[in-house]
Amino acid sequence: MSTVLRYPGLFASLVKVEHTVFALPFAYVGAFLAVDGVPGAADLLWITVAMVGARSLAMALNRLIDAEIDARNPRTAARELPRGALSRPEVIAFCLASLAVFLVAVWQLAPLVRWLWPIPVVAFVVYPYLKRVTSLGHAWLGAVDGLAPVGAWVAITNELPWEAWALGGAVAVWVAGFDLLYALFDLEIDRAQGLRSFPERFGVPATFRAARACHVATVALLAVAGLGLPVGVLYWIGVGVVAGLLAYEHALVSPGDLRRLDAAFFTMNGVISLAFFVFVLLDVTM
């Protein structure tokens, strides 16, 4: 019995369930802005289930494909697969279960989603391999996460207007920007193992410049989306809060001082996602 009970904790750790705070609020943002109000409870439920299934699949595939690389990196060697807490067959079974959950949820949503579901799944499979061949994997990850608000939008309306793409683009460059900084954790390991990343190819100062450019684009795209939507002042306050939090995030670290990189990556980005969602929720309900 104790062996069975350990699995929920191990799988929650495998997929870093606490990082759901980055993407799920933006999926809700897409859903709320799509209808300029509060979507039906059933739609919100199935969007949530789809997001949980998709994100669990993406993270488990990443861990599965990168298990050998993780084992050679001191920062990741204690993850579940490298240390033997979970076996490859167990993680494969978890991937299949996550895919099943995702597909069940997709079939409860708008018909167009039933045709589009392979796109994120293929993207999940491709992403872990990119570090082996290109330094642009950060952009791919951003694009994958940018599908969250776009997918939620189409899941409710069965339509994909340009405002949904602007919102998805904002999330894409936001994620790409903080993933550029996150890659600094493994800069020396990537060089030693011959893996590709933006910091490995272009250096630390260029990485900071690229991350700042991404986050300026995040604010710009949120503004562009707002210009096409019937949003009120609270939405614009939310955009301002995102801009301020991103500025603070970048003030925490510099090319010569990475001591607070953990706080900049994990804490601040969770706050950004939740804060913007709260302002959008207030805007569409007041």
In the chain, what are the domain boundaries? 2-285
Position with higher pLDDT, 160 vs 6: 160
Percent of the chain with pLDDT over 70: 97
Question: What was the pLDDT predicted at 3?
Answer: 52
What pLDDT band is residue 1 in, cutting at 50, 70 and 90? very low
- According to DSSP H, which parts of the chain are helical? 2-14, 20-35, 41-65, 67-71, 88-106, 113-116, 118-130, 137-157, 162-182, 187-193, 198-202, 204-227, 233-252, 261-262, 268-285
Q: What is the pLDDT of residues 24-54, one digit of tens each?
A: 999 999 999 999 999 999 999 999 999 999 9
Position with higher pLDDT, 259 vs 205: 205
Question: What was the pLDDT predicted at 9?
Answer: 86
Is residue 234 within 8 Å of residue 279, measured between CB atoms? yes
Superfamily name with CATH number, domain 2-285: UbiA prenyltransferase (1.10.357.140)
Position with higher pLDDT, 233 vs 264: 233
Question: What was the pLDDT predicted at 263?
Answer: 67
Amino acid identity of residue 58, one-letter, is: A
Q: What is the pLDDT of residues 61-92, one digit of tens each?
A: 999 999 999 999 998 999 999 999 999 999 99
Question: What was the pLDDT predicted at 173?
Answer: 98
Mean pLDDT calculated for residue range 226-254: 95
Q: What is the pLDDT of residues 89-130, one digit of tens each?
A: 999 999 999 999 999 999 999 999 999 999 999 999 999 999
